[in-house]
Amino acid sequence: MRHETKLVITLWGGMLGSMLLIGLIFQLPRLTQLPSSLTTGVEELFFLAIALILNRDWLRQTLKFGVSATWRRQIRPIMPTLIVAALIGLYTLATAQQLTNTLTLLFVAILISLFEETFFRGMLFQASQSTLGVGRAAVFTSILFSLTHLINLGHQTLSLTLLQLGFTFVLGLLLCLITAQTTSLL
């Protein structure tokens, strides 16, 4: 196994350990009294900070949050997903009992997405591509992305977790391939 792949696995393990440790910290009695959306948001900020520190100190992967491909060209492959997400979001906002809670959950969802995309597609996938190639790097990092969701077994059923593993693997694979496609259009 090449150095970059070992480093990716090590960083993933370090991030997983950090996630478990931070999750345990937020189980302390005083912290469990806080609203769950607040604790989840703070946890995600910690995860993002840890990922950026790991990248700065070990992986040194250039993070790109934009590409030169046209906006239309980037959106085209994910348009069906965006339409479904927009419909769900509009329905949620229209039927929300308390708009503040809904907006808080939306903000937390954005933080979760920012962490996951930064760590898995921005760091691990980009680093793996150089040694594994696009296809194998997409499968490899999608497996890591999916397996990370095993951490949810602490608060959800096995059947729901298995469904989530399948969904996150496919989603991770699609996002890696879209990332590779849009960056190769430069």
Residue by residue, pLDDT tens for the chain (186 residues) are: 677 888 889 999 999 999 999 989 988 998 888 888 888 889 999 999 999 998 888 888 787 665 556 667 666 666 776 677 778 777 777 776 776 777 777 788 888 888 888 888 888 988 888 889 888 999 999 999 999 999 888 888 999 889 989 988 988 888 787 777 666 544
Domain boundaries, the chain: 3-184
Q: Check residue 81 and give its pLDDT.
A: 67
Q: Check residue 111 and give its pLDDT.
A: 85
Angle, CA 65 vertex, CA 62 and CA 70 arms, to 5°: 120
| pTM, rounded to two decimals | 0.76
Contact criterion met (CB below 8 Å) for 149 and 34: no
Q: Check residue 75 and give its pLDDT.
A: 66
Contact criterion met (CB below 8 Å) for 55 and 123: yes
Separation of alpha carbons 111 and 148, rounded Å: 17
Helix, strand or coil for residue 19? helix
Separation of alpha carbons 160 and 164, rounded Å: 6
Separation of alpha carbons 133 and 155, rounded Å: 36
Q: Check residue 148 and give its pLDDT.
A: 92
Q: Check residue 112 and give its pLDDT.
A: 87
